[in-house]
């Protein structure tokens, strides 16, 4: 039986997406808020991620720690994530216990406490998380590349936020951010699994319909101007491995070039998945960069990725430099492969293999009930659900001419940032060129 889809919007603006799947007695419920680091300003970076943490600190009806015990007791799971463009909370539960999750989410959409003592406690947690990241070479490199790639757009900031802001943000800042963005008119409730849609509609209306509508603040952002020269940034710090990140400015998810770019990524560095829950691994050993960098012992590993975002973001390739090799030597070999794909159309067979790999990873990442609930809301954060349902068709339509056009349009020296991490003991530094 094909899954039954339905969608509607409550009077308070909450968008509801339902997908009946009767394969197993499980339901996954997701509340997606259109707020992330993209909605932050200097002085308040990291506030969305911190608010996500505070949403687990309890309400009058569900004190801290109570829900975790209840959900664990009935065999459910729950978690939350903050990204560039969104924040989401989910619960996957036995079907007959989903009312627990819905009651929780409707309550903390309105009644989260933000106790001052909990704010103090959580400040320590997020600062410790930031400090831990600062000891990780890939975080240091990624942050330096982001700051170099964007001059003013909020995408220049890591989701965790700047340390100076984490030390200065106050309880009222967090609560104001919560009341401004975590409201029905800024949210999508996505539910997938074993339920009856008519009954679920009434249950959702009873729990969420009572929450008052809110007027959202505007968030119109201008993209940074196009760069005219290649930008370089170097970071040094602890460790023994040299890394290089090559990041090209890339189109947003709802741009027509996104899907050909996805296939180009699969050709160059192997397929990459968008689903945070994975669902299967596919080797990238047939990719061009693996064959010409890893197999020739210039690099130990190569991985690429194209993020689905509201505004234009980055296509990133991360290279782990082989011992004894210099970054410039590896970059020259990388550029030779980019030149090759820009000069000569990829063969039909090679493109079909790349599409097949991307399709397989996509399917693997769409199988279980939790993943179905994820996609039901995730696609709404930057496009709509038809983006998901049309994904395989869009990939299949990609031609050699498309690959050639995308490579020549985006994979340009003047359109990229090259970041290098060099091990240098315990002292770290960074500089841009």
- pLDDT digits over 298-314, tens only? 999 999 999 999 999 99
- pLDDT digits over 244-263, tens only? 999 999 999 999 999 999 99
Range from 25-39, 348-362, 378-392 carrying the lowest mean pLDDT: 348-362
pLDDT at 277 exceeding the cut of 70: no
The average pLDDT across 338-350 equals 92
DSSP 104-152: HHHHHTT-----HHHHHHHHHHHHHHHHHHTT-HHHHHHHHHHHHH-SS
- pLDDT digits over 192-249, tens only? 999 999 999 999 999 999 999 988 877 778 888 888 899 999 999 999 999 999 999 9
**Neighbour count for residue 394 (Cβ, 10 Å):** 15
**Class of residue 328 by CB neighbours under 10 A (exposed 0-12, middle 13-18, buried 19+):** exposed
**Class of residue 217 by CB neighbours under 10 A (exposed 0-12, middle 13-18, buried 19+):** exposed
Which phi-psi region, left, alpha or beta, contains residue 114 (left: φ > 0; alpha: ψ -120 to 50)?
left
Task: Give the confidence band of 286 by pLDDT, cuts at 50, 70, 90.
Answer: confident
Q: Tell me the domains of the chain and their CATH numbers.
A: 4-208 (3.30.830.10), 231-432 (3.30.830.10)
Range from 146-155, 172-181, 340-349 carrying the lowest mean pLDDT: 340-349
- pLDDT digits over 58-95, tens only? 999 999 989 899 999 999 999 999 999 999 999 999 99
**Class of residue 113 by CB neighbours under 10 A (exposed 0-12, middle 13-18, buried 19+):** middle
SS3 content of the chain, % helix, strand, coil (to 5): 45, 20, 35
pTM recorded for the entire structure: 0.93
Output DSSP code: residue 294. Answer: I
pLDDT at 426 exceeding the cut of 70: no
The average pLDDT across 290-298 equals 97
CA distances from 32 to 86, 243, 303, 398 (A): 7, 34, 28, 31
**Neighbour count for residue 317 (Cβ, 10 Å):** 23
């Amino acid at each position: 039986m094909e899954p039954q889809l339905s969608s509607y919007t409550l009077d308070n603006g909450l968008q509801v997406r339902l997908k009946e799947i009767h394969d197993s007695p499980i339901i996954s419920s997701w509340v997606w808020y259109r707020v992330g680091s993209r909605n932050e300003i200097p002085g308040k970076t990291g506030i969305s991620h911190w608010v996500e943490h505070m949403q687990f600190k309890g309400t009058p009806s569900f004190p801290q720690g109570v829900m975790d015990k209840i959900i664990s007791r009935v065999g459910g799971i729950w978690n939350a994530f903050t990204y560039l463009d969104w924040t989401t909370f989910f619960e996957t539960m036995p079907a007959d216990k989903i009312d627990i999750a819905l009651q929780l989410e409707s309550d903390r959409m309105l009644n989260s406490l933000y106790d001052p003592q909990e704010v103090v406690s959580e400040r320590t947690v997020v600062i410790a998380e930031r400090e831990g990241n600062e000891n990780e070479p890939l975080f240091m490199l990624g942050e330096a590349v982001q700051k170099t790639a964007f001059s003013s757009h909020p995408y220049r900031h890591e989701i965790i936020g700047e340390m100076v802001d984490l030390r200065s943000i106050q309880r009222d800042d967090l609560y104001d951010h919560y009341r401004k963005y975590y409201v029905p008119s800024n949210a999508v409730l996505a539910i997938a699994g074993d339920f009856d849609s008519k009954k679920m509609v009434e249950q959702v209306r009873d729990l969420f319909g009572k929450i008052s509508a809110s007027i959202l603040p505007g968030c119109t952002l201008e993209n940074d101007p196009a760069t005219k020269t290649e930008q370089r940034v170097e970071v040094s710090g602890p460790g023994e491995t040299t890394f290089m990140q090559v990041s090209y400015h890339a189109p947003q998810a709802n741009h027509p070039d996104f899907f050909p770019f996805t296939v180009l990524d699969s050709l160059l560095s192997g397929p990459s998945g968008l689903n945070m829950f994975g669902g299967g691994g596919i080797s990238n050993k047939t990719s061009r960069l693996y064959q010409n960098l890893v197999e020739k012992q210039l690099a130990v590993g190569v991985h690429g990725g194209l993020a689905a975002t509201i505004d234009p973001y980055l296509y990133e390739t991360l290279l782990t430099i082989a011992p004894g090799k210099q970054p410039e030597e590896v970059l020259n070999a990388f550029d030779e492969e980019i030149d090759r794909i820009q000069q000569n159309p990829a063969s039909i067979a090679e493109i079909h293999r790349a599409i097949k790999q991307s399709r397989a990873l996509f399917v693997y990442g769409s199988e279980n009930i939790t993943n179905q609930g994820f996609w039901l809301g995730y696609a709404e954060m930057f496009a709509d659900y038809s983006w998901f349902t049309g994904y395989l068709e869009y990939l299949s339509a990609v031609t050699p001419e498309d690959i050639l056009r995308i490579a020549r349009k985006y994979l340009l020296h003047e359109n990229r940032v090259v970041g290098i991490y060099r091990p240098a003991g315990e002292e770290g530094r960074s500089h841009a060129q």
